[in-house]
Amino acid sequence: MRIAMIGTGYVGLVSGACFSDFGHEVVCVDKDARKIELLESGVMPIYEPGLAELVASNVRAGRLSFTTDLTAGVKDADAVFIAVGTPSRRGDGHADLSYVFAAAEEIGRALTKPSVIVTKSTVPVGTGDEVERILRDVAPDSGAKVVSNPEFLREGAAIADFKRPDRVVVGSEDEEATRVMREIYRPLSLNQSAPILFTGRRTAELIKYAANAFLAVKITFINEIADLCEQVGADVQEVARGIGSDNRIGPKFLHAGPGYGGSCFPKDTLALMKTAADNETPLRIVEATVQVNESRKRAMGRKVIKAMGGDARDKTVAVLGLTFKPNTDDMRDAPSLSIIAALQDAGAKVRAYDPEGTEQAKTMLNGVEFCPNPYVAAEGADALVIVTEWDEFRALDLGRVAKILKQPVLIDLRNIYPRSEAERAGLRLTSVGKRSSAAAR
């Protein structure tokens, strides 16, 4: 089928590349001429493992192309996916739908045949109704049908998530639109039995927000349990294994740490809260989750200062990992931002290293010395903090780290290292949700 993907951000580019790999003819459209120029030359605007190779192979095969011309991209499409940003709106926290509505209007003016208009962006309940109204106003005779098809891609594993999903959710009110969506996703049924869940359009829109909110609650729950573990002498990793072994709970998203960040959970929980409030059904659990998570990130900075003896003024802290999670360059709402701000407010000097996030971090962090590797960051520092669990931080030479640090203080906010291993290397370890080294308490 012929597919137009409006937006070449994270969701649009990954989805477009994967659809083309299924055999569909895909054109990705973006207003940013520089981004399109880079994509046409094989340079990816985001870091995602395997994406550059996937894009290159499908461009060579003639199934994937890029353009700034929305009219040319849309005119022959069987389906047009809207995959533009929906950031939190300044002032009230609602999802900013201006890009979605602008895209819908442009699409309507460009249509030359009946097409299925698919909202891939994360949007609040009822957005599809408004997109339908816009299309009806600008293209009353187009025959366009509006569908919701929310994405569930994890940064760092997006290609695998797209090709081997737990489920595909399609919200449709029209039989022909449903048929088109079945055809688009038909390659999945050839490879596996991934269920395609067909629902009403408003239900599909809410599924995305409900899923992200539930996962945010799960993360925040185990983080609060971690705080209790520290006070009572329990081990949060063992608690997580104990409760995660219950198949009603499951082991995923039970890893205690410095709080969640990224492009989805912070803005989606906030948007869901606003939608609920507008409909006079406040979601108090989600509200508490948002509040606790924001407080936690700053509290991790205080945890580092406490591990340093309670005073960080004129001391140097080495921070390993800046992105909100590994295998991405995404710095949006990353815990490192709040942690570093707390350290700098306390008078500390910060050195940092991240395998992929440095360029984005430089636009968001001031007064930080960026280093080329973990050991340069640690040289002469008063403490070393692991914030993001990149693979290359899982096998640090702890003996070497202990020798080059000014003070042998390791704060592991991802619980990568057991206390026994750190202490053998001569380090005083502070972890999350478990007993710290005696000298560090």
pLDDT in 10s for each residue of the chain, 441 residues: 999 999 999 999 999 999 999 999 999 999 999 999 999 999 999 999 999 999 999 999 999 999 999 999 999 999 999 999 999 988 788 899 999 999 999 999 999 999 999 999 999 999 999 999 999 999 999 999 999 999 999 999 999 999 999 999 999 999 999 999 999 999 987 756 678 999 999 999 999 999 999 999 999 999 999 999 999 999 999 999 999 999 999 999 999 999 999 989 999 999 999 999 999 999 999 999 999 999 999 999 999 999 999 999 999 999 999 999 999 999 999 999 999 999 999 999 999 999 999 999 999 999 999 999 999 999 999 999 999 999 999 999 999 999 999 999 999 999 999 999 999 999 999 999 998 765 444
What would be the CATH architecture of the domain defined by 2-199?
3-Layer(aba) Sandwich (3.40)
Backbone angles phi, psi at 370, to 5 degrees: -90, 135
Q: Is the dihedral of CA 33, 39, 42, 46 positive or negative?
A: positive
Is residue 80 within a helix (H) or strand (E), and if so which, with residue range?
strand 79-82
Tokens 């960040």 correspond to 261
Record: fold of 202-441: Rossmann fold (3.40.50)
CATH 3.40.50.720 occupies which residues in the chain?
A: 2-199, 202-441
Backbone angles phi, psi at 26, to 5 degrees: -120, 135
pLDDT of residue 435: 81
The span from the CA of 388 to the CA of 322, in Å, is: 6
Q: Which residues pair with 169 in a beta bridge?
A: 197
pLDDT of residue 92: 81
- Show which residues are catalytic: 264
pLDDT of residue 89: 87
Nearest to 97 by CA among 82, 87, 83: 87
Tokens describing residue 308: 């340093």
CB of 349 within 8 A of CB of 379?
no
Tokens describing residue 121: 């962006």
User: Within a 10 A sphere around the Cβ of 100, how many other Cβ atoms?
Assistant: 27
pLDDT of residue 218: 98
Tokens describing residue 28: 């990705």
| pTM recorded for the entire structure | 0.93
Backbone angles phi, psi at 384, to 5 degrees: -120, 130
CB of 345 within 8 A of CB of 312?
no
